[in-house]
């Protein structure tokens, strides 16, 4: 991670509006097998650098997608990031696609562009 990315991630982590530390704490304490979260697409870098790795470290398989609010029934078109984390014997790609068949929230570090149809899933290591 570059120095600029480290500063950005630290700034996001220190933001008082950042609820991820509380969500992660609740996930660990309650141990629910499934988490379903949504947020603005502006957190994508923080999601790839912090949230997704932490979920995987907790033993969750993770799938994510970008959707407009209209696709979820809301009367506006703002885009949202939805991600599902599931702790089980493994979330198959087919099951993940059925859960998150929106536009791909591709990892910006990979050089791929977000915004096309598809899905990225990752199993816990």
CATH code at 100? 3.40.50.150
Q: Residue 72: what pLDDT?
A: 80
| pTM for this model (two decimals) | 0.64
Q: What pLDDT sits at residue 104? A: 59
Collect contacts of 50-55 with beta carbons under 8 A, ≥24 apart.
Answer: 50/9, 50/12, 50/13, 50/20, 51/20, 51/24, 51/83, 52/83, 52/122, 54/20, 54/24, 55/24, 55/27, 55/85, 55/124
Residues of the chain with pLDDT under 50: 3-4, 91, 109-125
Q: 104: domain range?
A: 3-122
Please report the pLDDT score of residue 77 as a whole number. 83
Q: Is 22 helix (H, G, I), strand (E, B) or coil?
A: helix
pLDDT at position 76 is 83
What is the model's pLDDT at position 75? 87
Q: How many domains does the chain have?
A: 1
Cβ atoms < 10 Å from Cβ of 86: 23
Tell me if 59 sits within 8 A of 87, measured CB to CB: yes
| Residue 15: predicted pLDDT | 83
């Amino acid at each position: 991670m570059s120095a600029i990315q480290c500063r950005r991630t630290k700034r996001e982590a220190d933001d008082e509006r950042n609820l991820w530390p509380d969500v992660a704490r609740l996930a660990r304490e309650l141990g629910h097998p499934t988490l379903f979260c949504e947020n603005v697409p502006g957190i994508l870098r923080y999601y790839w650098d912090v949230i997704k790795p932490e979920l995987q470290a907790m033993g969750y398989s993770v799938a994510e997608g970008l959707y407009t609010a209209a696709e979820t029934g809301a009367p506006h078109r703002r885009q949202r990031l939805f991600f599902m984390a599931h702790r089980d014997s493994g979330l198959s790609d087919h099951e993940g696609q059925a859960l998150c068949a929106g536009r791909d929230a591709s990892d910006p570090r990979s050089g791929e562009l977000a915004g096309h149809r598809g899905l990225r899933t990752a199993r816990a290591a």
